[in-house]
Amino acid sequence: MQTFTLIFLIALVLTTLTQIWLAARHIRYVRAHQDKVPEEFSSQISLSDHRKAADYTCAKTRMDYPGILLHVVLLLAFTLGGGLNVLSEFWAGWLSDPLMHGMALIISTFLLMSLAELPLSYYRTFVIEERYGFNKMTPVMFFTDLIKQAALGLLLGAPLLFCVLWLMEKMGESWWLYAWFAWIAFNLFVLAIFPTWIAPLFNKFTPLEDATLKTRIEQLMSKCGFKASGLFVMDGSRRSNHGNAYFTGFGKTKRIVFFDTLLARLNPSEIEAVLAHELGHFKHRHVIKRIVVSFAMSLAFLWLLGYLMQQGWFYQGLGVDVATVPSTAMALLLFFLMMPVFTFLLHPISSLYSRKHEFEADAYAAQNSSADDLVRALVKLYQDNAATLTPDPLHSAFYDSHPPASIRVAHLQSQGQV
């Protein structure tokens, strides 16, 4: 057995057992606290709603088990099981051009993985989400969305993939730097076109018509120094009863979007507080900071890939026999498949960074709107989305981009305005 094979298997076992252990912890913790509403929420959330949130959380978390095991099976089947070798040989019989062969290999691999995961996605939507009253999708809408996503992925992703593979082939040892610039340009392009070209493919966006609410929001935006291309309402209720709000785009394409479900549930002052939170992300440049971090990480990963693709043990250790003639496409594919195994234990760092931004945005909302209104809005959203108020702390540290409900509310209350 290759040394790298052993390292890979140890990392895979460690990651898999950690994921299963975290899911089991989460379920036990939520169940242990399902019969008592936390004191700070007891006047607003009923015991029945609290128990519903516990049931919903546990049902979703139990679905992690087959997802984790399926991922392990697919990963081993494609790598040490020889699946990538079989696919590569299949496409070699049809495509002689190395770039076309590489694109076919990568696209077909991810297509097969997506098809294997499709039953779990369908079950989550039409069993779990349906059971708890959130799903509004029909099977036709579900598969139509999948077709749109696949077509959009090919339309945008295929040219990027071709560009990266070409750079890997033609630009020598420094290809990873050129590929990084291409990756930056691609991401900025997608950010620019997402609000006006991509998002409308899946949802309908209409200008906010409530004149009183619009005036109130525009006053808040003016106070915060935020300019947007428009205020829009998204028909989120076509697919789900979950509610949210966000701003998207950058430069002149920035726009603020409210789910229609959120507008139906919150009063104007609560909507203003939620928007103030989103504007806090803008004011603290959180989106820009996350983009910069993402680009820095991608540069490091591309450099690492540039090193690994020259090492025979990298291919052989993952079950691919191309040590004598390294394949750029195979190296890229192997890298994407194995990296999550080695980076999983870094999740708490990413979650901690994200929660820091959420605290900063909450503080900004408290200063420019009302902490009291934001707390009420959050409690309504927790209730409507059946979000558990008592997550397992360690599970939350790994996975949650937002602080747990009790900690977040306590932080807002510490602003002295509630």
Residue 252 CA, chain-centre distance (Å), reads 25
Taking each helix axis from N to C end, the angle separating 175-193 and 286-308, rounded to the nearest 10 degrees, works out to 150
**How far, in Å, CA of 326 to CA of 310, rounded?**
7
Q: Which of 93, 26, 13 is nearest to 64 (CA)?
A: 26
Residues in the chain: 418
CB 330 within 8 A of CB 106: no
From 270, 278, 358, 384, the catalytic residue = 278
Strands 231-234 and 255-259: parallel
Catalytic site includes residue 278: yes
CB 276 within 8 A of CB 369: yes
Which sign, positive or negative, has the C-alpha torsion 361, 19, 72, 130? Answer: negative
On the 0-12 / 13-18 / 19+ scale of CB atoms within 10 A, 115 is exposed
From 129, 272, 358, 362, the catalytic residue = 362
Alpha-carbon distances of 136 from 88, 154, 240, 242, 303, rounded to whole Å: 41, 27, 5, 10, 44
**How far, in Å, CA of 404 to CA of 23, rounded?**
16
Catalytic site includes residue 362: yes
Strand order in the sheet with 245-248: 205-207, 231-234, 255-259, 245-248
First to last CA, the chain: 62
Which sign, positive or negative, has the C-alpha torsion 66, 67, 72, 74? Answer: positive
| Residues belonging to the active site | 278, 362
